[in-house]
Each structure stands twice: as structure tokens, then as C-alpha cells.
Amino acid sequence: MPAIAPTAPRRLAAAPLLLALATCLAAPAALAQQKIEQQMSAEQFKNAGLTKLSDQELANLNAWLNRTLDAETSKAAVKAKEETAHERRGFFERSASKEPVVARMSGRFEGFQRGMTFVLDNGQEWRQDDNADLPGVNLDSPEVRITPSIIGNAWYLSVQGYNTRAKVVRVK
């Protein structure tokens, strides 16, 4: 039987090490600057094969974990901010984005009427806030575009294929 190379134990310990790394990356921000040996029990540390690392290797691992955690936390914060901004579009605060909301209306559309609520397939709900009228229309799940006004905090809904727009306010 061939001799096992000295690096084989490190390869065999890869699965527990990956589990340990995933655990560290999922740790709260308060743990971000703690060393891995402080975050794990002595038994977990040993079972992950980390006792085989030299002091310098362990220091390098801790530095890498902290950089990775900082980078992932920053990415998550940016993503959360973008998602929140998208989800809040159309509510009372002024939206920084001038991009329209484009979606499909859920169900039938039979024209505009003050006070009518339009439910979109993206989960948003908008209520008509003016007297715009569009008689004789009968569409199934039409595509709609909701655009912000140039001045003020008003939003206008238009249905694909029609020029009439209704002033709407987001209710959900």
C-alpha cells in the first residue's frame, strides 16, 4: 500500500473545515472579528482538523475569514438596501429611481374608475386616485407601466396599448 503524503490529513479534513467556514460566514456581525478558535468549541476545532495548522496558518485563516465576512456583509447590505428601495417604490417618500414599475395586472381589467385597486403580479397594489376613465376595455392580465411624475410624488398607471393614464397611489 502506498504511503500517504503528509498533506493528506488536510485534504481529509476539508469537509469539516468547509462546514466550519460556512458556520463562521453565517455568524452575526458581533463575531466578525473573533478568531475561529474562539467561535468553535475545542472539540469542534479539533474535529475540523484545525489543530494541525501552524500559528501562521491559523492567523492566515482568521484573516481570510474576517476579510470574507466583511466582504459578504457589505454585499448583503448593498443588496438589502436595493431590495428595500425597490419594494418601497411608490409609497410616500420620494423615490430616487425614475424607472417605471412594469408588471402584469392580476385578473381582469375593465377600465379605470376612481377608488379601484389594481393588484399586480409582483405583489404590489395600487389604487386609482383620480377620475380617469377608459370605457369599453376588457382585458385579461394586461401589462401595465406605472411611472413617477417629473414633479411631485405622483404615479401614473397606463395599460399596454392605451394612451389614457390614471393617477395611482401605492397601498401595498
> Read out DSSP for the chain?
-PPPPTTHHHHHTHHHHHHHHHHHHTS-GGGTTS-HHHHS-HHHHHHTTGGGS-HHHHHHHHHHHHHHHHHHHHHHHHHHHHHHHHHHTTSSSPPS--PPEEEEBSSEE----TT-EEEBTTS-EEEE-S----TT--EES-EEEEEE-SSSS-EEEEETT---EEEEEE--
**Which of residues 26 and 166 earns the better pLDDT score?**
166
- pLDDT, mean of residues 67-91: 72
Measure the CA angle with vertex 158, ends 119 and 164; round to 5°.
Answer: 130
Rounded to 10°, the helix 14-25/55-88 angle is: 50
Q: 106: closest CA among 140, 133, 132, 137?
A: 140
pLDDT above 50: residue 11: no
pLDDT above 60: residue 105: yes
Q: What is the pLDDT of residue 104?
A: 96
Contact 153, 91 (CB under 8 A): no
Per-residue pLDDT band at 6 (split at 50, 70, 90): very low
**Which of residues 43 and 30 earns the better pLDDT score?**
43
Predicted structure pTM score:
0.50
